[in-house]
Amino acid sequence: MREMYLAIDGDDVGHRLEYLMLINERETITEFSKTFKSAMIWLENKLVHDFGATVVFSGGDNLLAYLNFLPVEAVEALRIEFAERANSTLSIGLGENPRDAYFALKLAKTSGKNCVRQFKELANG
């Protein structure tokens, strides 16, 4: 099996928090933060315990991990379940190394967010 990296970033989390701060919604900020953090912990645990991933870093709304090959469909299922748990979405990039995963993440972010993209898509346009 070949190794793959997942670069994960929450969609518009910073903007949402900034807005809530500007309108002075302390309780909503706290609730959103707790819910999102809980979903990120769930995702990290799921990757590590169910798929044997190694987490390179995890903080805030970002995560970088590597593992043996995981079908895109399984990654999509994780993305969908995360959205249900967090009431917020993720963009995910997949690649054979951290750089490729990051490029794929940038493609996911610039192509509408809330999706999974693979680095090989960049080579094909």
Domain regions of the chain by residue span: 3-123
Between strands 116-118 and 90-95, the pairing is parallel
pLDDT tens, N- to C-terminus, the chain (125 residues): 579 999 999 999 999 999 999 999 999 999 999 999 999 999 999 999 999 999 999 999 999 999 998 899 999 999 999 999 999 999 999 999 999 999 999 999 999 999 999 997 555 55
Give, as one character, the DSSP assignment of residue 25.
Answer: -
pTM metric for this prediction: 0.91
User: Is 3-123 a domain of CATH 1.10.220.110?
Assistant: no
116 CB neighbour count, 10 Å cutoff: 20
Give, as one character, the DSSP assignment of residue 113.
Answer: S
Query: Looking at residue 69, what is its pLDDT?
Result: 87
